[in-house]
């Protein structure tokens, strides 16, 4: 049975899914996803097979895509992350994990005998990426707040100082949004006279808005990073997961390979790439501009401070790292965790005050937690 239309049963399935997605989107604060976007102007583009094949900066025979927008997006972030004017390159990825894979891949090609160092609070995808690339690695302990333990890092590198050093720095850990300080890491490498090294910054959430914070965290190219990956669907907002990776062009040139079939150079991980994602990111960046994005960041920081204070007022031991939008506290009941989709680990939960979160939602969550505390 094919009449080019959905059956009533299939239409019902779609309607049920839409209702479920709408309900579940209303009440989540445990994951870093912005939902305050409106892309109605871009709906017509969904009727076309947009594919940004290969390197966005090299012409391609496949012409149905958004390469010009993608180049503008990369240029924006290269500037925001203080890359050298003539030494940057990048592309729009499927998300932060692919950006991290790319950074590690570049590092491995530059330093085939390098050792990867990353903290125990690093996102689970990094271990997967290291396994895929078959890179030797050592896990470093963390401080209480989730930041890497610099003493442990220095001691461990000293024991292996005959090997090139590859650092996976967290610019906002998954649970506590702790930022590793790239300035401190660079100082350790200098102290130990490590000439061959590579630092990749995993800035999935926090890297997206760290440029707007005062004092500015040490996380970008000017601080010593060799590549930076962020997510596009988190702080900025997008209907599909996406991300951006920016690297030094001089390093990327070392791994470029020409592909006759597409008439381009493929320097990316996935080859065929979503041509809609760069369009959504371009639209957001154009709509807000630097000042609009700064306001989003300041709003999120203010709401996070409000949430921390309100939770403390009812006796909940809430805390957050300086200038972050993640508020940590002991896990509440299963029903509250389920309703608000709170990410939880080792008896702790958090809410992430994305730009769409308002005081009213915080008040509602706090009231529900207060009611439970009274019953208990």
Residue 334 is predicted with a pLDDT of: 95
Q: Are the beta carbons of 113 and 165 closer than 8 angstroms? A: no
Gyration radius of the chain over CA positions: 22
List, for residues 17-46, the tens digit of each pLDDT value.
999 999 888 888 888 888 888 999 999 999
Enumerate the domain spans of the chain: 26-39+290-375, 44-285
* Average pLDDT of the residues in 202-229: 96
Instruction: Reply yes or no on whether the pLDDT at 200 is more than 60.
Output: yes
Instruction: Reply yes or no on whether the pLDDT at 259 is more than 80.
Output: no
Largest Cα–Cα distance of the chain, in whole Å? Answer: 72
Instruction: Reply yes or no on whether the pLDDT at 217 is more than 60.
Output: yes
Q: Which CATH architecture has domain 26-39+290-375?
A: Alpha-Beta Complex (3.90)
Instruction: Reply yes or no on whether the pLDDT at 110 is more than 70.
Output: yes
Task: Read off the tokens for 172.
Answer: 């906002």
The residue count for the chain: 376
Nearest to residue 99, comparing CAs of 280, 241, 244? 244
* Average pLDDT of the residues in 236-243: 94
Instruction: Reply yes or no on whether the pLDDT at 260 is more than 60.
Output: no
- CATH number of the domain at 44-285, out of 1.10.238.10, 3.60.20.10, 3.20.20.140, 3.40.640.10? 3.40.640.10
* 3-state helix/strand/coil string of 195-251: CCEEEEEECCCHHHCHHHCCCCCCCCHHHCCCEEEEECHHHHHCCCCCEEEEECHHH
List, for residues 155-177, the tens digit of each pLDDT value.
999 999 999 999 999 999 999 99
């Amino acid at each position: 049975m094919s009449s080019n239309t959905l059956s009533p049963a299939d239409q019902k399935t779609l309607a049920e899914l839409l209702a479920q997605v709408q309900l579940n989107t209303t009440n989540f604060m445990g994951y870093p996803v912005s939902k305050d976007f409106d892309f109605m102007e871009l709906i017509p583009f969904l009727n076309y097979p947009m594919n940004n094949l290969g390197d966005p900066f090299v012409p391609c025979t496949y012409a149905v895509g958004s390469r010009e927008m993608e180049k503008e997006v990369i240029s924006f972030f290269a500037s925001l992350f203080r890359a050298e004017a003539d030494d940057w390159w990048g592309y729009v990825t499927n998300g932060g994990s692919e950006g991290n894979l790319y950074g590690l891949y570049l590092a491995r090609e530059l330093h085939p005998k390098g050792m990867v160092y990353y903290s125990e609070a690093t996102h689970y995808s990094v271990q997967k990426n290291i396994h895929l690339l078959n890179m030797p690695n050592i896990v470093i302990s963390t401080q209480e707040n989730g930041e890497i333990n610099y003493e442990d890092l220095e001691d461990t590198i000293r024991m292996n100082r005959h090997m090139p050093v590859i650092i996976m720095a967290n610019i906002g850990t998954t649970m506590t949004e702790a930022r590793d300080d790239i300035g401190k890491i660079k100082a350790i490498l200098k102290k130990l006279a490590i000439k061959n090294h590579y630092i990749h910054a995993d800035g999935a959430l926090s890297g997206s808005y760290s440029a707007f914070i005062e004092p500015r965290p040490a996380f970008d190219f000017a601080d010593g990073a060799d590549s930076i990956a962020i997510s596009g669907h988190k702080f900025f907002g997008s209907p599909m997961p996406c991300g951006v990776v920016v690297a030094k062009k001089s390093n990327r040139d070392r791994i470029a390979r020409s592909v006759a079939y597409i008439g381009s150079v493929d320097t990316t991980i996935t080859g065929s790439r979503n041509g809609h994602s760069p369009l959504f990111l371009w639209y957001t960046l154009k709509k807000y501009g630097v000042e609009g994005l700064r306001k989003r960041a300041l709003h999120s920081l203010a709401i996070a401070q409000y949430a921390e204070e309100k939770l403390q007022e009812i006796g909940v031991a809430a805390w957050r790292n300086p200038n972050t939008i993640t508020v940590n506290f002991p896990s509440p009941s299963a029903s509250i965790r389920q309703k608000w989709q709170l990410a939880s680990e080792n008896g702790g939960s958090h809410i992430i005050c994305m730009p769409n979160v308002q005081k009213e939602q915080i008040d509602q969550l706090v009231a529900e937690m207060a009611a439970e505390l009274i019953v208990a």
